Amino acid sequence: MNSFPDKIIEICRSTHLPMIHEAFGDPGIEAAFNIMETAKDLFRYVEPERISGEIIIYHILSSCEESAQTYEERDSVEFALLSNQTHQNLVLEVTLDKKRYLRSFEDIQFDKIGLNAIIYHNDKGSEEFIAKGKKMPVFRLDSSARSQFSIPTLSTLREALKQYAHENIRESTCYLFRNVWYDENRIFLKASPEAKMRNSLVQFLRNRLGSNHDVWPEQNVDESHPVDIRVQPRLSNNRLLLIEIKWLGDSIAEDGHITAKHREARAQQGADQLSVYLDDQLRSAPNRVIHGYYVIIDARRRNLSEGLRAISQSDGYYYENKELAFNPAPHLTRKDFDPPYRMFAKPVCCAT
């Protein structure tokens, strides 16, 4: 096994900088750092996974046709203005004075500038630097990041929600979440369990993400509409992550009568509601990267009736693998809406 100093040497040799220095010397190293700073600044405001095509940042080091282009008629780009725009391909040129300019993907002839420029190329998370025809992948330190120059805010919450479903909801191991059940066999929910569900997820996210994220319960997104949970990464203050929670199943009052039976229509209502919240936020904060996460606590059981205290395996698990259909399905048409997180909460079934 390599020692830590050996590992550091291996990482340094594996980076793109030696290749760039060989091609362009010290000016190339300075240009490479300008490109990396540009990528870091860009991804503070623009979420890399929102760009469906390629991301290219280049810096021309010697004279050629493209470098003679003047920029008096255009201002350098402000990345904050790109936050919620739709991009297929995004191309930036960095100039010697460290200004950044948007360029058209179709107008750039990379075979012509390739011998005179350093090029950063990101194609759906596969990153490389190019210098005089040679290529070197960007060394990956964070496997979850769409770019090694970005903070993986969206994927971080995504992984946390998957862990919450598996660790806390499936077997009702969270002490806060256990209080949503009317009976010890987890057949019926108590009436109005929403607040307990929200508090359970808030506690989990604060414990799991708290050092790098602020997590707030029931935050208004406008004058009259509260979203269940709002998450804001501390290192990317232009990100705003909204979580809406809905539950499916049957709830029961203290006297034993059923108070609500929520099925597919309830799930659709939550998806529509979160879409409205996202649209409201986009209008009020257009320079933020806003993303929605829809959590569905699925406590559906088959053949329930008032007074039931035991449930068979076939009825208790009937909905375990029955996915929900959405029409409209905002997660299929919007880039700011994650696929819904359906979390099935298991009952305790009788032996027969």
Instruction: Say what the pLDDT of residue 65 is.
Output: 44
pTM attached to this predicted model: 0.85
Q: Which of 172-181, 203-212, 288-297, 299-308 has the lowest mean pLDDT?
A: 203-212
Residues 48 and 108 in one domain: yes
Q: What is the pLDDT of residues 100-142, one digit of tens each?
A: 999 988 887 777 787 899 999 999 889 999 999 899 999 888 7
Task: Report which of residues 111 and 343 the model is more confident about.
Answer: 343
Q: Parallel, antiparallel, or unpaired for β 90-94 and 54-60? A: parallel
Task: Select from 14, 110, 134 the least CA-distant residue to 57.
Answer: 110
The answer as to whether 351 is a domain residue is no
The domain in which residue 123 lies consists of 4-137
**In percent, how much of the chain has pLDDT > 70?**
90
9 pLDDT band, cuts 50/70/90, is low
Dihedral angle sign, alpha carbons of residues 157, 158, 163, 166: positive
The answer as to whether 145 is a domain residue is no
Distances (CA, A) of 333 to 74, 134, 271, 340: 33, 38, 12, 13
Instruction: Say what the pLDDT of residue 210 is.
Output: 79
The answer as to whether 142 is a domain residue is no
Give the mean pLDDT of the chain.
88
Q: What is the pLDDT of residues 250-299, one digit of tens each?
A: 999 999 999 999 999 999 999 999 999 999 988 888 888 999 999 999 99
Residues 289 and 208 in one domain: yes
Quote the distance between the C-alpha of residue 72 and its chain's center.
37
Question: Residue 88 corresponds to which tokens in the numbers above?
Answer: 């297929």
pLDDT at 161 over 80: yes
- Using CA atoms, how far apart are residues 10 and 334, in angstroms rounded to an integer? 42
Question: Taking residues 202-223, what's their average pLDDT?
Answer: 83
Residues 104 and 168 in one domain: no
Residues 113 and 200 in one domain: no
**Of 112, 137, 162, at which residue does a domain stop?**
137
Q: What is the pLDDT of residues 63-105, one digit of tens each?
A: 444 444 555 545 789 998 888 777 889 999 999 889 999 998 8
Residues 39 and 174 in one domain: no
Residues 69 and 129 in one domain: yes
**Of 86, 111, 137, at which residue does a domain stop?**
137
Residues 10 and 66 in one domain: yes
Instruction: Say what the pLDDT of residue 225 is.
Output: 65
Residues 124 and 197 in one domain: no
Residues 129 and 173 in one domain: no
Instruction: Say what the pLDDT of residue 229 is.
Output: 96
Residues 185 and 323 in one domain: yes
307 torsion bin: left (phi>0), alpha (psi -120 to 50), beta (else): left
**Of 103, 137, 171, at which residue does a domain stop?**
137
The answer as to whether 186 is a domain residue is yes
Number of domains in the chain: 2
Instruction: Say what the pLDDT of residue 2 is.
Output: 54
The answer as to whether 148 is a domain residue is no
**Cβ-based neighbours of 225, under 8 Å, separated by 6 or more:** 276, 277, 280
Task: Report which of residues 245 and 85 the model is more confident about.
Answer: 245
Residues 83 and 172 in one domain: no
Residues 116 and 172 in one domain: no
Instruction: Say what the pLDDT of residue 151 is.
Output: 81
Instruction: Say what the pLDDT of residue 16 is.
Output: 86
Instruction: Say what the pLDDT of residue 10 is.
Output: 66
Distances (CA, A) of 340 to 14, 158, 180: 39, 11, 21
